[in-house]
Amino acid sequence: MFQQQLRQHQWESFSRNSMFERNLAIRIFIYVMYGFLALEMLGFGFFLDKILLQTDTYERAIDTFNSFLPYIFVFDFVVKFIFKTKESMQIIPYLTLPIKRNLLFDFLLRKEFTNIWNFYILFLVIPFAFKAVMPFYSFPATVLYVLLIYLLCITNSLVLNIINNLISRSFWFYIVAAIRVTFPFFLVFVCKIKLGYYLTLLVDMYLNYNLWIYAAFAVIFAALWFINRLQMRSILYYELQGDKIDKISSFSSLTFLNKFGTIGDFISLELKMIFRSPRLKQKTVFPGILINGFFFYMLYSADNVFAVGGQFFFFFYGIFSIGFLGLVMGQFLFTSESSFFDGLASRKASIFELLKSKYILYSSYSLLITLLLLIPAFQGKINALLLLSLFFYVIGSIYFLIFQNAVYNKTYLDLFDKGMFNWEGTSGNTFIISMFVMFVPVVLLVILNVIFGEIVTCCFMLFTGLVFTLTSKYWLAWTYKRFLKRKHKNMEGFRSN
């Protein structure tokens, strides 16, 4: 009865929200897209056993699939880290009632059992299990296998909740998320441990009703549940005490930026905004680590995907990796300040200085990635001239186009809104122009490479990039003047929230 009342309260909170129509439309869109994903995975699940048998890794498809489980749940973790929103509710109003806090915490944790992000893998597993498990095990064992995958999905979510709560305390806990993602690969490729083989044996013992496996899994699941409950209690304690966690991120105080005056202050504020805004942090931090990590992995991979995918794929991914921060944040150049733009415009702080600080920050990020890519360049994995050309092409030509596009974006952006499938802050026109900015320069490079070769293409990128980089002071001033002409029109859009 109590659980039902809590669910009713949450529905009333959703339905009585002033943005109910928009939120409902977003949910419907999510469910429609999720339905298409479910149908695709269902169809793939019916043929998965035949595909796995062709790999010749194991004699049975179920054993091959079980050996891939560590990588499947790494993928599941990454997807949930990017898209899954944290379960939350206003607990404080219930504290005046004779209700145990653990009941409230357990209510939130039990919602993991009905969260849609814990079901999408099941659409793949259910048809596969009945085709690959039933011939070798009993029907109850097949049902138990599906239940195991489902519980592992929930376990992955509980681990994600723990890591997200740690990240909310300190930026450095992103290292824990990175360890979670890379740990299976470290065991397999560095420690040379046959992780897939051992996991196959454990699942086989599970399907043969080994009680020790059941007991061990129950203990692990209960421990994660208990840790989640403790973290919720800790967060509630801070709210009740009125305390704020002083060091939300390690960028709260960057004293060396004080040497650069107003520019340094703006850079410091930009970093704080990125790491304190759930939405911007969700769009930049972990995706940036993942994209650049994948870029390095493919450079050192034996089956280099860039050689298979052609020059278009290499140019596109190289530009996206080096210019990731500018490409993501560039579309929110002014809208990220929309909540307090009136105050910014009424003070002596110059918007031109704001533009310069953002350009310096994005270029510094590109420089950092380029310096890291010098390691594979010295090892012959990538052409050093091509790398240098890509760097100047990004901070010159690409950033020039991005800054011009940002002038026309006048939509309001809520920094603390949820990030999953949220297009607030991006209008249709700016989205189309952003796609134009991303693909047209890459297509131009591919055409030049096909007609004139790589050397001419590199020289073109280097020349145009240097021209726009060396003249950045002038085109930033031109961008500033263009924004001033649209200033009041844009600010009117910023207030439309």
Q: What is the block-wise mean pLDDT of the chain (497 residues), using blocks of 10 residues? A: 70 69 71 81 86 78 90 88 68 69 79 87 92 89 93 93 82 82 85 88 92 94 92 72 46 59 80 78 77 75 53 74 85 71 65 87 90 82 85 90 78 63 53 67 81 86 91 89 77 62
d(CA 342, CA 246) in angstroms, rounded, equals 27
Of the candidates 448, 320, 471, the residue with the CA atom closest to the CA atom of residue 400: 471
pLDDT at 417: 63
From the CB of residue 180, how many other CB atoms can be counted at a distance below 10 Å? 19
d(CA 260, CA 251) in angstroms, rounded, equals 16
pLDDT digits (tens, 9 = 90+) for 180-189: 888 888 888 8
DSSP string computed for 335-385: GGGGGGHHHHHTSSS-HHHHHHHHHHHHHHHHHHHHHHHHHHHHTTSS-HH
**What six digits make up the tokens of 54?**
């062709």
Q: 56 — alpha (psi -120 to 50), left (phi > 0) or beta?
A: left
Contact indicator for 332, 341 with CB cutoff of 8 Å? no
| Distance in Å from the first CA to the final CA of the chain | 38
The full set of domain ranges for the chain reads 2-241, 255-494
Q: Which residues of 112-145 are buried (b: 16+ CB within 10 A; e: fewer)?
A: beeeebbeebbbbbbbbbbbbbeeebeeebbebb
Residue type for position 24: L
Q: Which residue has the tokens 């421990």?
A: 223
d(CA 358, CA 272) in angstroms, rounded, equals 13
pLDDT at 224: 94
239 Cβ contact list (under 8 Å, min separation 6): 92
d(CA 479, CA 417) in angstroms, rounded, equals 29
d(CA 289, CA 325) in angstroms, rounded, equals 11
Backbone angles phi, psi at 99, to 5 degrees: -125, 135
Whether the full predicted model's pTM is greater than 0.75, yes or no, is: no
Q: What angle do CA 205, 211, 215 make, to 5 degrees?
A: 110
pLDDT at 493: 62
246 Cβ contact list (under 8 Å, min separation 6): 252
Backbone angles phi, psi at 395, to 5 degrees: -75, -15
**Whole-number mean pLDDT of the chain?**
79
pLDDT at 335: 72
